Amino acid sequence: MVSDLIFVVIVTILVADVSTVLALIFAGRRDPQSVLAWALLILAFPVGGFVLYLLFGFKYFKSREFRQKSSWDRTLLGRVLKGEELGVRDETGQNLASLESQPDLARMLWSESSAFLTAGNQVKLYIDGREKFDALFEAIDNAKQHIHLEYYLIRNDSLGERLVQALERKAAEGVEIRLLYDDLGNGIPRARYRKLTESGGHVSGFYRAWFPTVGLRVNYRNHRKIAVIDGTVGFVGGFNIGNEYLGEGPLGAWRDSAVRIQGGAVRALQLRFALDWNFAFGEELPRGPRYFPSSPRGGSASIQVVSGGPDTPFNPPRELYVKMVSSAKRTCYLQTPYFVPDGSVLTALRLAALSGVDVRIMVPTKPDQPFVHWASLSYIGELLDAGVRAFSYDAGFLHAKTATVDDQITSVGSANWDIRSFNWNFETNAVIYDSKLSKRYREIFEDDMTRCTEITQAGYEARSRAIRFKESISRLFSAAM
């Protein structure tokens, strides 16, 4: 009996593995490199590889879950571009004519993802968590009409509690509250939101997990970090809600980036929130002046809000990065905690460096995910001989997801330079066309370099066999993503 049971288990595992490999080959449009990597992992580790595939690689009902969202989004964005949504004006045409730098990039993002171009925005840059959260809570405290928040992580710690209490106070004052969190990233018990909802606030998880086993999935996460207050002030960047973003976590000091925006780009952030809220909560937000008020032009920055995810046929953040790198003439500086690029991004960086562009990449020395860290070093090593300079940030954890080119354009947002951000997660970046801010961010990058160790070609080639093995295994698995 025992031998028969073992035989049944073995046959079941083999059938599941073979079926999975066949599905990988013949179902869907996967990158051939990803198919090969998953097939090798599943065949080499029949049980572990299959479990990892279910967690990281299986496309859980993607077409069924997101087909309707994609249709809703395209319909509404199409109305915006046609001028049929008076509360969300598209002034891209006239703003392109006055854009001094990279109109081709702006036109591409407009054509591909309906990222309308706004002008006359005021932008405040934050690289320190305490300053950023002081500004966010000040905006929340001053809210008069509504507060819309969309975050990947909300920790069940003192900062998360501070946020919930602030929202409860504003809800009691009659301010509309809408909080959208990722169902995997939210750490606060749902019961803790009861007082907020009883006061009139609305709280929802994005892509909620109805069954515990499906809840283990790590794909299709809403990785965005967006706040919109009264339709006049917006925040976007890399900061989630948690004590570690104040430098109080196990990784110590925290280096991140975010921007506070006032101007027409806030309408774009509001529209992004509305599209996600409609999908998650089933409530269609009106597009009138209450949520999309007119914004005077009080600043010098032109901005596009660029979003992408598994509900779009192409991923605009990836195309944004490729186009930014390809358009660089002098400098291209990028910071990311996870550098696991696909072939298009890797090629763009290599060609830019070979063309004489000063390309610099900064990643953390202290990793929060060792597997991704070793994969990142593998890809960086491939670029060093093309002239790319790379730096590991030693003064804590580097979580910023930024790129700045030629002192003209800076991208700040949630999208990492990795395959998960390109293929699996919902991301949002602000693309800022402003020479003053871009020059400032280049100076910040150069200041960060004083707290870095440069990864040189000689040092990389001298790495130990153990590190080479870690890189090889990590890179193989990263290709499966």
Task: Give the per-residue pLDDT at 216.
Answer: 45
Residue 42 has pLDDT above 70, yes or no: no
Q: In this structure, what CATH number is given to the domain that contains residue 405?
A: 3.30.870.10
Please provide the DSSP assignment of 327-348 as one string.
H-SSEEEEE-S-EE--HHHHHH
Whether 289 and 105 have beta carbons less than 8 Å apart is answered as no
Choose the catalytic residue: 401, 418, 434, 470. Answer: 401
Is 401 marked active-site?
Answer: yes
| pLDDT over 70 percentage in the chain | 83
**425 within a domain of the structure (yes/no):** no
Is 448 marked active-site?
Answer: no
Write the Ramachandran bin of 175: left for phi over 0, alpha for psi from -120 to 50, otherwise beta: beta
Whether 264 and 118 have beta carbons less than 8 Å apart is answered as yes
**Burial of residue 3, with CB atoms counted within 10 A of its CB: 0-12 exposed, 13-18 middle, 19 or more buried:** exposed
pLDDT band at 199 (very low <50, low <70, confident <90, very high): very high
Choose the catalytic residue: 69, 132, 146, 223. Answer: 223
- Looking at residues 451-474, what average pLDDT do you find? 90
Are 354 and 269 in the same domain?
A: no
Residue 149 has pLDDT above 80, yes or no: yes
Q: Out of 272, 288, 308, pick the residue that ends a domain.
A: 308
pLDDT band at 423 (very low <50, low <70, confident <90, very high): confident
**427 within a domain of the structure (yes/no):** no
Choose the catalytic residue: 132, 148, 373, 399. Answer: 399
Task: Give the per-residue pLDDT at 60.
Answer: 53
Are 240 and 356 in the same domain?
A: no
Choose the catalytic residue: 182, 406, 418, 448. Answer: 406
**For the chain, what is the domain count?**
3
Is 170 marked active-site?
Answer: no
- Looking at residues 345-365, what average pLDDT do you find? 98
**261 within a domain of the structure (yes/no):** yes
Helical segments of 102-222, H only: 103-113, 129-141, 158-172, 194-198
Over the stretch 292-323, which tens digit does the pLDDT of each residue have?
A: 998 878 899 999 999 998 888 778 999 999 99
Closest of 187, 189, 120 to residue 155, by C-alpha: 187
Choose the catalytic residue: 225, 323, 373, 470. Answer: 225
pLDDT: which is higher, 298 or 17:
298
Structural domain boundaries, residue 92: 63-308
Task: Give the per-residue pLDDT at 188.
Answer: 96
Over the stretch 1-14, which tens digit does the pLDDT of each residue have?
A: 556 555 454 555 55
Q: Out of 254, 276, 308, pick the residue that ends a domain.
A: 308
Task: Give the per-residue pLDDT at 25.
Answer: 46
**424 within a domain of the structure (yes/no):** no
- Looking at residues 268-273, what average pLDDT do you find? 96
Whether 253 and 177 have beta carbons less than 8 Å apart is answered as no
Question: DSSP assignment, residue 243?
Answer: G
Is 406 marked active-site?
Answer: yes
Choose the catalytic residue: 230, 256, 407, 448. Answer: 230
Give Cα separations from 227 to 7, 67, 224, 429 (angstroms): 55, 26, 10, 13
Are 159 and 287 in the same domain?
A: yes
Is 202 marked active-site?
Answer: no
